[in-house]
Amino acid sequence: MKDGDTVAMGGFGIVGIPENGVLAMVKKKLRNINIVSNIAGLADWGIGLLLKDRQVVMMNASYVGENPTFEKQYLTGQISLNMIPQGTLAERCRMGNAGIPAAYVKAGVGTYVETGGFPMRLGADGKSMVEVSRPREIRNFEGKDYLLEEAIRADFTMIKAFQGDKYGNLRFRKTARNFNPDMAGNARVTMAEVEELVDEIPAEKIHVPGCFVDRVYKSPHVSKKMERLRFRDAPSGTTDKKKAKAPGKEENKDNRRFRIAARATQELKEGMYCNLGIGIPVLVASAVIGKLEVELQSENGLVGMGPYPYKGKEDCDVINAGKEVITEAIGCSHNRSSDAFGMMRGQHLHKTMLGSLQVSETGDIANWIIPGQKVKGMGGAMDLVSCGSEVIVVMEHVGPGGSAKILPECTIPLTGKGVCSRVITDMV
């Protein structure tokens, strides 16, 4: 690698990231690196280490909400941000390794992604715009608008696998698969960091064949860090690190959030496939226990999501969209990111539940950025709200300080226009 290279990195949160490869980049003191990654890491781990050392000039990502270092650098004009819907990011990386130059997608129609003008780089004052995103070409198919998105090709791709063999074949473990298979082969050089180096992986267990991989190296140190730990206290208990306090005059926040999730389970029917977004929606996996047999999908590549684990039963490679350690329900499956979003685009899900910062009276949703204040990123939300399943917003009724979240019109950038069919809050 050299200064100015574009480097694509697999992983979701800190699961499946090539952490030792990142450490080597830090040590080499590379500069002006253009990163392609779903997320910007943590302040003290993964890509966050490159950001802390000011080695990155641009982030191409879908979600950056857990890294205050990156948020500060962006809001003060120190780094550029190319924000990409998560499903589009996965597909653009997959197209890069499959020789497909471009494709039309639904995610982002009616938002900054379509119109352009998103401030990719701000001035030092945090208000002026030095660089803005470009508009997308639009084409109508069967009465619906789609945006043209081009394939991503990098100079180097760094991915992480559970096993690699001398033929370059790779095998991934559970939700650590995520973006890794989609990024393999989309660069001049693909390097795979593996936890175990074996002579041969059984053919039926290979997830990426060696023809997509140029280098394989064994991790000198395997991290088992867990970004967010949350436990079930007891079979009939609450679902948090600490036992929730009984509601008094003012209801405990955890109880309130769980009550909202419990109400949301009434929207589900036996045998449904439902995506759960980050925040309150992920609590539905715990609230639905013993009520219905449903298949809960998580955008990071898990179908058949269970509740939080009991303490001591957690698995660092099984997480939900909120990067929380979760359990696997009977019959669950693990998928790469492009397949996870293919389930959405192909209308294989019945319902989608997600949180929001604002919802308008006409069903517009805004949940990914507060300009000049907070940069979370759209994650998979733009894909989810455009996929054709019923979209239900599950959120607290008011924001910080009692600010209204249900408005005549959204006052911050939209995630989707006219897409919400129902809002469930604590006013039930």
Pairing between strand 170-171 and 154-165? antiparallel
Distances (CA, A) of 213 to 156, 167, 175, 180: 11, 9, 20, 11
Query: Quick one: how far is CA 299 from the chain centroid?
Result: 7
Question: Position of tokens 């949180």?
Answer: 355
φ, ψ at 225 (rounded to 5°): -65, 145
Tokens of 288: 């639905």
Catalytic (active-site) positions: 299
- Inter-residue contact 12 to 38 (CB < 8 Å): yes
- Inter-residue contact 229 to 314 (CB < 8 Å): yes
CA–CA–CA angle 31, 36, 38 (5° rounding)? 130
* Residue 223 neighbours by CB under 8 Å, 6+ apart: 14, 19
d(CA 412, CA 358): 8
Question: Position of tokens 């898990």?
Answer: 302
